[in-house]
Structure formats: C-alpha cells, structure tokens
Chain A
Amino acid sequence: MVAGELVSQSIVNGILLGGIYAVAALGLSLVFGIMDIVNLAHGHMLMVGAYVAILVFAATGITPLVGMFIAMGLLFVLGIVLQKVLLKHVVGEGIEQPIIVLFGLALILQNIGQLVLGGDARTADLGIPGDGINLGFAFLSLPRTVTFVVAVVLIGATWAFLQYTKTGQAIRATAQNRTAARYMGIDTDRIYIITLGIGTALAGAAGALLSMLFPINPFVGWSYLLKAFAVVVLGGVGSILGTLVGGVILGVSENLGALYLGGGYRNVVSLLIFLGVLLLKPEGLFGTGGGGE
C-alpha cells in the first residue's frame, strides 16, 4: 500500500517536470504543425541548448537561466541557417527527404558534442540560493519549481506571440492553408524560417532548463526526442494548451508508474499511454487533426 503523501509527492514532481517536457515538445509541435516536418534533430538541438547553459554556468557561475537566453538566441540562429541552407530544398518534397536531412543533422550534432565535450555527463546548478517549499502534502524542490515557472512563462509567451502579433497570425494562417496565406500576401518562406527558428530556440530553452535538473551528455537527444513526440501525440499537433497538458500527463504518469510499478517501468508507462492515445484518439487530446492553433 502506497502512502498518500508519496502519491501526492509523485504527482507534484511529475507536474513540475511536465512543464519542461511541454517546452521541449512545443518547438517540435510548432514545426510539425506548420511546416509538416518531423524534426528528428529536435532532441539534439535540446542537447546543444543544455550544453550552452552548462558552459556559461561553468565559465561564469551565472545561473543557467541567463544561459537559457543565450542558448535560445544561438539555437534561433541555427534554425534560421538550417532552413535557409538545407531545409528549403526539401520542404514540400515529401516526408522522407527532411527526415533524412534532420536525422543526419542529429548524428552530426551528437558526434560534434562527443568530440568537443567528451562523453561524460555534465550538469549545472540552479545558481540561485534558497530552499524548497514544504506544502505539507508535498515538497517543492527549488530547481524544479523555478524551472517549471520559467517553462510555463515560455509557453505563455509563445502563445501570446502567436495570438497577438502580426507575425504570429501569419504563422497560424500559413499553418491553416499555405496557398491561401500566399494569396493574402504572406511570405511563407519567411514564415518557415521564423517558425524553425522559434522551434529550435524552444528546444534550446528546454535543454537549458533540463541541465539544471538532470545530467546532459551528447547522447541524450534521442530520449528527449521520444518524450517530446509522446507529448505532441498526447496533446495534439499544434496545440499549445495540449502540449502543456500532455507534458504534465507524461511527467505525472512517469512518476506514478515508478511509484507503483518500480523505476524500471518509468518509461514503459509513458509509452503505453502514448500508444493508447494513438489507438483511441490519434489526433491527440486537444488536436484538431488539421494542425495549427
């Protein structure tokens, strides 16, 4: 029999972790929903963002929250360059070509990471003094709480950008109907560039946040890509609210699975939920099936 406080602690831990999962998935969801590209290098871009935050922290002692903005800037530029140099030639040419290009990019990033930084895992501290908060029924660890709050702010900012800015509205219009958007004078090539930039910047942000909780090595990209996929499928492609809810469901299910079935089943439980949603509601909990918000 599992004690009630253990259950509440696991749920709280899962919710806090789910926020970062949601940020990690949001970039993937945006790119998939708007550009129809499965970014197989998304997890490795997350790894790059994490290393940027770790290296900034190691060199300066400044909290990785600052490094997160540097990582977002660098990854935004990487996304733009990637779209301008590589992906523009393969977008719209079927699903296989972008997948091959991005799979190759993932391997390149992984090997560069290993060559430059070695295979050892690295991590960063939150860099902010303070203790966690005891709620009575659960303890909120400071790093998890701070990273969750930042994750929710990032998700909210992305939603506001898409909802209230002209560029954001153009992105949504492109997601709904690319041809019609062009007729309306929207430069869809530019929209793709911006979308990939935002998607990769969000991957960088998620990586920086994860570096404060978990060790990072050049090989973590694949596992976080899988988690991001699970969240996108759970929440529905292109749905920001769905991504947040999907992230929280994944985080909580991982923790409860570990509690009730043992830590060896942590990932099994989340993947079973992933498969269950694919079978019962393939468009996801909040998805429309048409992409875009």
Chain B
Amino acid sequence: MAGLAGCAFGGGGGGGDDTLTIAGTIPETGAFSSLGQDLRRGYELGQARMNEQLDRDVELILQDDESDAQTLRQNLQQMTSNNDVDMIWGSFSSLLVTAGSAFAENQNLPFLGIAFAYEAPHRNDNYEWTYAPFPKSRDVARSTLGTLELIPEGNRPNRVGIWEPNSGWGKEQADYWENRLGDAGYDIVLRETFEIGSQDFSTLISQSQSADVEVLLSNPTPGGGITAVNQMQSNNWSPKMLKFVRGADPSAWWSALSDAGAYALMCPGWVPGLTGNGNQRLRESYMSEYDTESQYMPVNVGGSYNLTQVALQAVQAAGSTEADAIQSALRSETFQTVIGEFGFEDNGLPAEGDLTAPTGQWWDGAQRLAYPNTGSQRALEFKYPIPSWSER
C-alpha cells in the first residue's frame, strides 16, 4: 500500500516536528476480534488519505489491545513512551474506548473514538480531549424512530419491547428509547434487564412473546445478540422488527446466523448506501486496496474512516500537531465526513442532531442502509415485517 509508507506497527520510529504521529489500538484478538480487521482497514485508508492531504508525514502506530482494557492501557503507555505521539485513536465498544479516553485525558492528548454511543462519560467525566464522531444514544433513538416512520401508518407496529443490558450504557440507551418512542405514542410494553455476558435469553423471549412485543430493541454484545436470535428461532418466536445496536454490527453476525440473521437492524455509525462527503472515494479506495468484488463494505471500515476524516480536518485547521491547537480545532470546526456534517460540544459529544445516525439492515449477507433514504443503489428498501420462522 503506497500510502502506508509511514505506517509502523509495534512501536519504534518517533515523530519529528514534521511528522504527525498517531497511536491507536484495535481488537485483533479477544471478544471483539471479528471487528479488528475492519477498524484497521478504515484507519489505514484514512492514513493514506491524510498523507496525501497534509504537508507532513503521518505515522500510524496500531497495536492489538486483545479486547482488554488493561492491555489497551499498557499498549498506549508503551506507544506514548517510545514515540512522540500527537493523537490517539480508540478501539471498539464503550468499555475499550473509555479506557483509551481516560489515558488520553491524563496525557492531555487529543483522542478520537468510534463505536462509543455512551453519552454519560462525556457529561460526567469532564472530558477535554475526547471526541466521538459517532452516533450517541440519543441519535440511536432518533434513528430508530425514523426507521419506524418508514412503515406506512396503517401497518406500523406499536408495541415496543426493550431488553436492557445491566450496564450504564444499557440503561442510558433504554431510557432514550423509552422516552423518545413513548413521546411519539408508541407503547413500551416490556423493559427488562439482562446481564452482560448472559447466554440464556429464554426468559426474555418468553416475556416478550407474552407481552406481544412487535418491535424489539436492545444493545447486546455481538455474541449475546447472535445467541438471542438463535434462541428466538429454537423457541419459534420473532418480533416484527428487531434492532440490536452493536450486537448486529460485525460480519460474524451473518457468518454465525446466515439467513436467520436477516432483517436485523443495527446502528453502527456508517452503512453502505450513505452518500457524499467522501463516500465514493472511500468505496473506490477500499475496492482497489483490498481487491474485493464485494458491493458492500463492512460497516466499521466506514466508521473508522470517518474518524480519520475528522483527524485530517482538525490537523488542517490547526495548522500544527500541537495538542492544544488540535483540541481547539476539534471544538470549533465543522467536520464533513462519510457520516455527515457535524461539530463537537466542548465535552466531545457530537452536536445534537447534526450527524447522520444511519440504521442498517442485514440482507442477503450484507449490511445495507435502511434509514435515512439516500436513493443509493447500495441502500435498500426497509424490509418489514420480519416473517415468522416457518415462513422464512
């Protein structure tokens, strides 16, 4: 990859005055390993673009955090000790991104993280250096409502069930769903908690069936989401609409479930079918770099590429690699990325209502844009309702 000449892995090197040095971790092993390659590809495509656009070399140091917060901190410690790091890019999930963020806040280094919908840390932890170019819990709820409104009114479901993971983000997301959809007139007929890492969803399935849930919303882990759908099938129950935020993000969803995973919705930050702001170029770069015939790029390639666009534009606006200058640019600029046009609040939250919070849907082995409607040939017409298992 010609544009990756400055890419080094595992430390070494060191940024000079003209070099922008970025440290990052990705989960190449461990619980989130199925997403590591996609994040790496998005970051590397973005780094190539940055090397073209900036008048300085861009060095990207990526290490495997093993999907473990402690390993992530050790990796960042090592990378920042051995290199003159100017910026840090995050990993995947609130667990890992907040760990990276805590390190960056302590080091006074600009930090960008995706796959991080949890809002509370932005508000409660006095973030100064952390910025999340990614749909947050409130945006996920907004996107869910928008997706429901694609269904003709006479056919629209009304009975909503929420499976809430017993975590801070689980509660926050469930609250947003309950309030947003409740205010819009939907009937929240079920809201039950489950333990993160739980493998037995049979009780929740029975409760959902008993409550006649039509729209099922949750934010499980990928493994939990796959298990839940398997158990829905063996219990012969399915909602009419299913949205598993983060759970249905990775390609492992389809490889594990195949057609049983069809119709599932997710909100991964970016989905094939979005247009403008570099989407066409991203697609062409991806196709040529990774020699793939696939029409549909993995969602996390787009999400992580979007992060690199923010980094590029922030450094351009700052005109320097100084942390304060980049921080100031992140706070004041409006960014145009493959997920839309947005700015940041001082606490690192994307400004409310600005960025696109796309909802994707699994169909025929690919994640495709269901909401909003962009007219792209890579988007699809929202598939509703999910047929019963016997009719699939």
Binding site for B on A (CB under 8 A): 3, 5-6, 9-10, 13, 17, 114, 118-123, 126, 131-132, 139, 141-144, 213-215, 217, 254-255, 258-259, 262-264, 266-267
Contacts and interface: CB of A to CB of B under 8 A. Distances in A.
B202 A263 contact: no
Interface string B175-205: 0000000000000000011110011101110
B316 to A, nearest CB: 38
22 contacts: A5-B210, A6-B210, A13-B203, A114-B29, A119-B31, A120-B33, A120-B252, A123-B230, A139-B236, A143-B234, A144-B202, A213-B231, A255-B202, A258-B194, A258-B200, A258-B203, A262-B192, A263-B193, A263-B194, A263-B195, A266-B194, A266-B195
A102 to B, nearest CB: 24
B195 A17 contact: no
Contacts of B234: 126, 132, 141-144
Interface of B: 29-31, 33-34, 66-67, 166, 192-195, 198-200, 202-204, 206-207, 210, 223, 226-227, 230-231, 234-236, 252, 256
Nearest to A260: B203
Contacts of B223: 120-121, 215, 217
B206 A10 contact: yes
Contacts of A141: 202, 231, 234-236
A39 B131 CA distance: 48
Contact of B236 (A132, A217, A258): A132
Contact of A263 (B30, B34, B166, B210): B166
A144 B203 CA distance: 14
Contact of A266 (B29, B66, B200, B227): B200
A109 B239 CA distance: 39
Given A10-B203, A123-B227, A264 B193 contact: yes
Nearest to B236: A132
The winner among A142, A144, A214, A255 for most chain B CB atoms within 10 A is A214
Contacts of B194: 258, 262-264, 266
B29 A13 contact: no
Contacts of B210: 3, 5-6
A118 B207 contact: no
Given A139-B236, A215-B227, A266-B195, A119 B206 contact: no
Given A214-B200, A266-B200, A6 B206 contact: yes
A139 B210 CA distance: 12
Contacts of B202: 9-10, 13, 141, 144, 255
A123 B228 CA distance: 12
A119 B199 contact: no
A110 to B, nearest CB: 12
B199 A6 contact: no
A47 to B, nearest CB: 13
Contacts of A123: 226-227, 230, 256
A266 B236 contact: no
A259 B200 CA distance: 12
B248 to A, nearest CB: 15
A139 to B, nearest CB: 6
A262 B226 CA distance: 21
A123 B226 CA distance: 10
B371 to A, nearest CB: 29
A10 B206 CA distance: 8
